Amino acid sequence: MYLCASINEKAEFIIFRTMANISEKAKQMPASAIRKLVPYADAAKKQGVKVYHLNLGQPDIKSPSCALDAIRNYSQENVSYSHSAGLMELRKGLVEKYYKKIGIDITVDELIVTIAGSESVNLALEIACNPGDEVIVLEPFYTNYNTFAFMNGLTLKAIPTDIRNGFQIPPIEEFEKAITDKTKAILVCNPGNPTGTQYSKESMLALGEIARKHDLFLLSDEVYREFCYTDEPHFSAMNIPGLEQNVILIDSVSKRYNLCGARIGCIVSHNKDVMTAAMKFAQARLCPPVIGQIAAIGSLDTPDEYFEAVREEYIKRRDFMIEGLNRIEGVFTPLPMGAFYTIAELPVDDTESFAKWMLEHFRINDETTMVTPAASFYKTPGKGLNHARIAYVLEVDEMKKALHILEEGLKAYPGKTI
């Protein structure tokens, strides 16, 4: 407690000011590593500098018109609550029009609409694990997994993967070594953010075997499922035979249809205890955003051509970006097979210092390029220091300029290693 007295403006009476202290959790909560450099980008913009955002997974791709039309044709006279599990039309539509089509066989009771993939990840961890439990992740991993683990009192145990083989799932022995009495779940992202790696059916079955053997939950984040660039179809954890009671699917509707801000996702499981618990947590926050749900209902009529066009566009952007990156001296990045990110090894001491330096000091014709330092995607101290996450969500012309600035920046950076 801190107390200080001051006299109010009219000097009529003395006001004693007091201050209460925030919780330990609030103090220790990790700040978003991804957004740490935003003030530097803002400062550059204030100077009139154009910043190419290779750091953000904010696609410029249009949403399907059926989704946008659903928003524009909103005909209710007010916006009332929906069921806590979401509008029945959306739940049924997802089950029948989307999941059935891609070979995931579920009932309406096995799906609850969430406030985007974010709520879904948090719910999955909260439902699967007790505080103190350990969760296995593949390193590098989506940095907010760390945040949600912290919020639930969990420890992430990271199994390293290798940039040289495209961050594929390591041999099962590595999992065996990492599993302890406290391990409660494996959390995978397929295709992966930040790596863009797509796991094969064989890899997913192997993960399933490990989960089965040690009685673990397999939390499968498949929000980038429709962003796969191989000919091999995406294999969902929901289809691992015999593992029905251990799999929790984390999914996003808004991400799939470039409606990121609509914040609509879902949590799916055949495990009744999981869904009963998810429903109780869902009731506490009353309902998912309703206008976003209306857009999501609209998106159910998205024609296949939409995904084909988006896929083609991303393959074009990916190929351009990966080729461009690998042409820069000292840069290496594998070819990602999904999502819209890649992890690149840069010839620098520390990508955080480099990214900051670019924003503060490096410009070509009043333009600069921003990348995401990747150390926060790693749990092992010291790992990923020379890695950056690069999103290929901009148009090719923009990426061309961004890459040129990056290349010149790397040459000029004082902390370069080649």
By CB under 8 A, what part of segment 161-200 binds its own copies? 184-185
Do the bridges between strand 183-189 and strand 217-221 make them parallel or antiparallel, or are there none, so unpaired?
parallel
Q: Is 366 in the site for its own copies (CB under 8 A)?
A: no
27: exposed, middle or buried (Cβ count in 10 Å: 0-12, 13-18, 19+): exposed
Quick one: which of 9, 47, 48, 241 contacts its own copies (CB under 8 A)? 241
Q: Is 212 in the site for its own copies (CB under 8 A)?
A: yes
Q: Is 147 in the site for its own copies (CB under 8 A)?
A: yes
Binding mask 286-305 for its own copies (x = CB under 8 A): xxxxxxx--x----------
Cα gap 190→177, rounded to integer Å: 22
What's the token pair of residue 45?
A: 């913009």
Q: Is 101 in the site for its own copies (CB under 8 A)?
A: no
Q: Is 22 in the site for its own copies (CB under 8 A)?
A: yes
Q: Is 280 in the site for its own copies (CB under 8 A)?
A: yes
What's the token pair of residue 336?
A: 């990602």
Quick one: which of 11, 47, 77, 101 contacts its own copies (CB under 8 A)? 77
Q: Which stretch binds its own copies (CB under 8 A): 95-103, 155-163, 240-248, 333-341?
A: 240-248
Quick one: which of 62, 164, 316, 361 contacts its own copies (CB under 8 A)? 62
Q: Which is nearer to its own copies, 202 or 323 (CB)?
A: 202
Query: Residue 392: which of 329, 310, 331 has the closest Cα?
Result: 310
Cα gap 362→378, rounded to integer Å: 27
Q: Is 246 in the site for its own copies (CB under 8 A)?
A: yes
Beta strands in 303-382 (DSSP E): 341-345, 367-370, 372-373
| Number of amino acids touching its own copies (CB under 8 A) | 92
Q: Which is nearer to its own copies, 127 or 337 (CB)?
A: 127
Binding mask 250-279 for its own copies (x = CB under 8 A): ----x---xxxxxx-------x-xx--x-x
Q: Is 107 in the site for its own copies (CB under 8 A)?
A: no
Q: Which stretch binds its own copies (CB under 8 A): 13-21, 99-107, 197-205, 380-388?
A: 13-21
Q: Which is nearer to its own copies, 193 or 198 (CB)?
A: 193
Cα gap 251→222, rounded to integer Å: 6
Q: Which is nearer to its own copies, 198 or 271 (CB)?
A: 271
Assess contact for 165 and 184: CB atoms under 8 A. Answer: no
* Nearest distance in Å: CB 57, its own copies: 9
Cα gap 285→278, rounded to integer Å: 11
Quick one: which of 46, 47, 181, 284 contacts its own copies (CB under 8 A)? 284
Report CA-CA distances (Å) from 9 to 3, 5, 13, 15, 135.
Answer: 19, 13, 9, 10, 56
Q: Which residues are registered as beta bridge partners of 136?
A: 157, 186
- State the residue for tokens 């957004």: 35
Buried b (16+ CB within 10 A) or exposed e, 313-345: ebeebbebbbebbeebeebbbbebbbbbbbbbb
Cα gap 405→370, rounded to integer Å: 10
Do the bridges between strand 217-221 and strand 247-252 make them parallel or antiparallel, or are there none, so unpaired?
parallel
Q: What angle do CA 393, 306, 316 make, to 5 degrees?
A: 40
* Nearest distance in Å: CB 407, its own copies: 28
Q: Which is nearer to its own copies, 198 or 372 (CB)?
A: 372
Q: Is 100 in the site for its own copies (CB under 8 A)?
A: no
Report CA-CA distances (Å) from 304 to 128, 210, 235, 255, 308.
Answer: 35, 35, 19, 16, 6
Q: Is 320 in the site for its own copies (CB under 8 A)?
A: no
Quick one: which of 58, 107, 380, 417 contacts its own copies (CB under 8 A)? 58
Q: Which is nearer to its own copies, 161 or 183 (CB)?
A: 183
Q: Which is nearer to its own copies, 137 or 337 (CB)?
A: 137
Q: What torsion, rounded to 10 degrees, do the Cα atoms 404, 410, 414, 416 define? A: -170
* Nearest distance in Å: CB 215, its own copies: 4
Helices 116-128, 272-284: axis angle to 10 degrees equals 120
Q: Which is nearer to its own copies, 329 or 395 (CB)?
A: 395
Q: Which of residues 120-139 bind its own copies (CB under 8 A)?
A: 122, 126-131, 133
Quick one: which of 46, 72, 231, 305 contacts its own copies (CB under 8 A)? 72
Quick one: which of 10, 78, 181, 418 contacts its own copies (CB under 8 A)? 78
* Nearest distance in Å: CB 78, its own copies: 4
